[in-house]
């Protein structure tokens, strides 16, 4: 190991101060590509996979599925020669979420190296970065980095020279921009040039993915962790965390806080630590009312939850989800119905239109919320919202989009019901939105 890891912040600790992306040389100075070199020269694909499994790395896209386990579903061995694919889900469209962008803009090689390791572990020889269309800056950084990697033979045929006999072609695909593309099977359809609608699971993408072939789709942050795990070992990685889940996590806060932003912290840092410590708490004149912890598609949490550790299991137990780990704060001067309209309008607009509950239910929710907000709502409308949220349960819909929308809806009505009722009783928005 030429350079020690930044022990607290392996993901973000070596960023340049000026916000420019690390060049290949700079990345290598911080230990970049050592993991890939190590894997190709001294580890079997299976060993790489086992190391990742042992690290308890869980998917950072929101669902928290164990990464090593995901990889292990890719058929391997003699009878499964491929082609196989690795895809980085860089279609970061979850509202309030900007952690992947930070990684790609500052350390593009980290993603590339992580993908190369994932490809090596799963036997893939082609990789795609499916990048959100608006992420022009990330795109430029990645394009430059990929060029550098190819030039130095860190990518392409026989990476690191003849001996390794590992080939990998990597391409960047700029998304045309649908939230649905963040869902891995919708992403694969889109990558194939088809409509971004989800696919039935099973079969899972690890068996029938891109072009019908075995494919691993991982979130950017997930993949960025992989080089560090391989370089420093699973035990080290687990040690970074304060919870069962390995590693650090990039947490973010947006809303009326003193210092909105994102910070890499040990997995399991408490909400209060992030919100009050790093984000500095509420701006003067604003009071905290609640937050959605991990992007738009997670349940509201309130004051009593602030000491919960931000990890997958703790939030699950509290009835929410960590999601992307980037929280949005609701303050007392913002109408909770208005915020809900923003969220639900987004989901309704981004519904792909494939299954009925999502396609028809979400617009009905938006219309109902709008009528509550503009003073024409009825008390039954509030129950209708809860009923719709209940009906948009996982399994009722084809994919997780509508159930995700239902999470802030049901919890929002539950925690702020009085505000909803005031709208109906006063026949206006008490916050003066209408």
Looking at the Cβ atoms of 129 and 348, the one nearer to another protein is 348
Cα–Cα distance measured from residue 103 to residue 12, given in angstroms and rounded to the nearest whole number: 7
- Would you say 297 and 407 are in contact if contact means Cβ atoms under 8 Å apart? yes
Closest approach of another protein to the CB of residue 212, in Å = 4
Give CA–CA dist 46/407, Å, rounded: 38
User: Least distance from C-beta 79 to another protein, angstroms?
Assistant: 9
Beta carbon nearer to another protein, 270 or 397: 397
Distance CA 321, CA 300 (A): 9
For another protein, the closer of residues 248 and 351 by Cβ is: 351
Nearer to another protein, 395 or 432 (CB): 395
Which of 61, 36, 40 is CA-nearest to residue 113? 36
Minimum distance from residue 207 beta carbon to another protein (Å): 6
State the residues that interact with another protein by CB under 8 A.
Answer: 178, 180, 195, 199-200, 202-203, 207-208, 211-212, 348-357, 359-364, 367, 371, 384, 391, 393, 395-398
* DSSP structural state of residue 363: H
User: Count of CB atoms within 10 A of residue 417's CB?
Assistant: 14
Shortest distance (Å) from residue 335 CB to another protein: 21
CB of 398 vs another protein, minimal distance in Å: 6
> Closest CB to another protein among 186 and 268?
186
DSSP 20: P
Say how many Å lie between the first and final Cα of the chain, rounded: 61
Measured from the CB atom, the residue of 235 and 393 that comes closer to another protein is: 393
Q: Cis peptide before 203, with omega less than 30 degrees from 0?
A: yes
CB of residue 171 vs another protein: minimum separation in angstroms? 18
Long-range contacts of 415-420 (CB under 8 A, 24+ apart): 415/290, 415/300, 415/302, 416/289, 416/290, 416/300, 416/336, 416/337, 417/382, 419/335, 419/336, 419/337, 420/336, 420/337, 420/372, 420/382, 420/385
Specify the residue, 4 or 77, whose C-beta has the smaller distance to another protein.
77
CB of 397 to another protein, least distance (A): 7
């Amino acid at each position: 190991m030429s350079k020690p890891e930044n022990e607290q912040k392996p993901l973000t600790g070596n960023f340049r101060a000026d916000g420019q992306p690390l060049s290949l040389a700079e990345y290598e100075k911080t230990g970049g590509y050592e993991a890939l070199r190590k894997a190709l020269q001294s580890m079997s694909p299976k060993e790489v996979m086992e190391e990742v499994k042992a690290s308890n790395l869980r998917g950072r896209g929101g669902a928290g599925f164990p990464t090593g386990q995901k990889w292990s579903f890719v058929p391997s061995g003699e009878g499964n020669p491929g082609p196989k694919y690795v895809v980085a889900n860089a279609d970061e469209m979850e509202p309030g979420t900007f952690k992947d962008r930070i990684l790609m803009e500052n350390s593009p090689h980290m993603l590339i190296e992580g993908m190369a390791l994932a490809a090596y572990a799963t036997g893939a020889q082609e990789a795609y970065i499916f990048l959100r269309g608006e992420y022009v800056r990330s795109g430029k950084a990645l394009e430059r980095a990929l060029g550098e990697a190819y030039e130095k033979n860190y990518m392409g045929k026989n990476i690191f020279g003849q001996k390794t006999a590992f080939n990998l072609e990597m391409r960047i695909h700029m998304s045309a921009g649908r939230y649905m593309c963040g869902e891995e099977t919708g992403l694969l359809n889109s990558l194939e040039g088809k409509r971004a609608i989800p696919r039935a699971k099973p079969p899972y993408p690890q068996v029938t993915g891109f072009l019908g072939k075995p494919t691993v789709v991982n979130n950017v942050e997930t993949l960025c962790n992989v080089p560090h795990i391989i370089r420093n070992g699973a035990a080290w990685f687990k040690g970074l965390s304060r919870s069962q889940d390995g590693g650090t996590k990039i947490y973010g806060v947006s809303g009326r806080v003193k210092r909105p932003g994102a910070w890499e912290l040990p997995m399991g840092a408490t909400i209060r630590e992030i919100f009050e410590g790093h984000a500095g708490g509420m701006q003067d004149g604003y009071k905290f009312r609640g937050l959605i912890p991990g992007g738009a598609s997670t349940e509201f949490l309130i004051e009593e939850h602030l000491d919960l550790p931000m990890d997958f299991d703790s939030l699950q137990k509290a009835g929410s989800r960590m999601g992307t780990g980037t929280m949005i704060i609701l303050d007392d001067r913002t109408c909770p119905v208005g915020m809900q309209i923003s969220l639900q309008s987004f989901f309704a607009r981004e519904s792909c239109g494939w299954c009925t509950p999502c396609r028809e239910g979400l617009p009905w929710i938006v219309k109902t919320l709008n009528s509550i907000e503009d003073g024409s709502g009825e008390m039954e409308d509030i129950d209708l919202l809860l009923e719709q949220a209940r009906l948009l349960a996982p399994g009722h819909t084809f994919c997780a989009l509508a159930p995700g929308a239902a999470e802030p809806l049901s919890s929002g009505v539950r925690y702020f019901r009085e505000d909803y009722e005031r709208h109906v009783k006063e026949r206006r928005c008490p916050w003066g939105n209408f």
